Amino acid sequence: MSGPLSGFGVVLARDLRLAFRRPGEMANPLLFFILITAIFPLGLSPEPELLRTVAPGVLWGAALLSSLLALDLLFRSDYGDGSLEQLVLSGHSLPVLVLAKTLAHWMVSGLPLVLVAPLLASALYLPPEAWGTLMLGLLLGTPTLSLLGAMGAALTTGLGTGSALLSLLVLPLATPILIFGARGVDLAVQGMDPVGPLYLLAAILFLALSLLPLAIAAAVRISLD
């Protein structure tokens, strides 16, 4: 029953179940991702040359923004109905539990982006050679975004400030992910080896996985005090 990782499975299952109960809300980040990506051709021009050039940045920027969208809700409803407090008092390791919550969040809001990316990439005339780099980069980068966002959400849950403050806190910290992800795709488009940025994204992910759950747990405790 207990052990260092106990509670992880339970929280993960619970959060996923809760998410699936509201399929509309679950679809929001994905819809947002598609919407933002569509806005750029409308705002710029439908020229293939132009769109191909901006595609990496647009796709990654859209991924960043749609991850942010879903974050506010990560802790808010649990905070509101007291279940967050239950988690803290449960006796299980809080960093493990918040990691489970973040994983559930990512599976619902980040993973779909990875899967849909090739479709949107082709809409922006991004050559298929670069799709692999795009998907792998998103696969490595979106979990880190979820972790950073979870920390921001935990810090701002108790406040009435809404998502503007959350964005202000998270976006500057997320810029390296944006840079490495988008520029990695660029390298792939140019036929060069994108391994460097991808390794960096992986390294950042591991750093985030080891440190951020602790920070998120601490932030949750502060919010609940």
Give the footprint of other proteins on this chain (CB under 8 A).
Answer: 151, 155-156, 159, 161, 165, 168-169, 171-173, 175-176, 179-180, 183, 186, 200, 204, 207, 211-212, 215, 218-219, 222-223, 225
Taking the complex as a whole, the smallest distance from the CB of residue 10 to other proteins amounts, in Å, to 26
Taking the complex as a whole, the smallest distance from the CB of residue 171 to other proteins amounts, in Å, to 7
Nearer to other proteins, 26 or 173 (CB): 173
Nearer to other proteins, 169 or 202 (CB): 169
Taking the complex as a whole, the smallest distance from the CB of residue 179 to other proteins amounts, in Å, to 4
Taking the complex as a whole, the smallest distance from the CB of residue 94 to other proteins amounts, in Å, to 14
| DSSP symbols for the chain | --STTTTHHHHHHHHHHHHHT-HHHHHHHHHHHHHHHHHHHHHS---HHHHHHHHHHHHHHHHHHHHHHHHHHHHHHHHHHTHHHHHHHTSS-HHHHHHHHHHHHHHHHTHHHHHHHHHHHHHTT--GGGHHHHHHHHHHHHHHHHHHHHHHHHHHTTSS-THHHHHHHHHHHHHHHHHHHHHHHHHHHTT---HHHHHHHHHHHHHHHHHHHHHHHHHHHHHH-
Nearer to other proteins, 35 or 192 (CB): 192
Taking the complex as a whole, the smallest distance from the CB of residue 92 to other proteins amounts, in Å, to 21
Cα separation, 162 vs 86, in Å, equals 24
Taking the complex as a whole, the smallest distance from the CB of residue 212 to other proteins amounts, in Å, to 7
- Alpha carbon dihedral 50, 52, 56, 62, in 10-degree steps, equals 70
Nearer to other proteins, 30 or 220 (CB): 220
Nearer to other proteins, 88 or 116 (CB): 88
Are residues 120 and 37 in contact, defined by beta-carbon separation less than 8 angstroms? yes
Q: What is the token pair recorded at 23?
A: 């399929």
Nearer to other proteins, 108 or 212 (CB): 212
Q: What is the token pair recorded at 139?
A: 């696969």
Nearer to other proteins, 19 or 148 (CB): 148
Taking the complex as a whole, the smallest distance from the CB of residue 73 to other proteins amounts, in Å, to 19
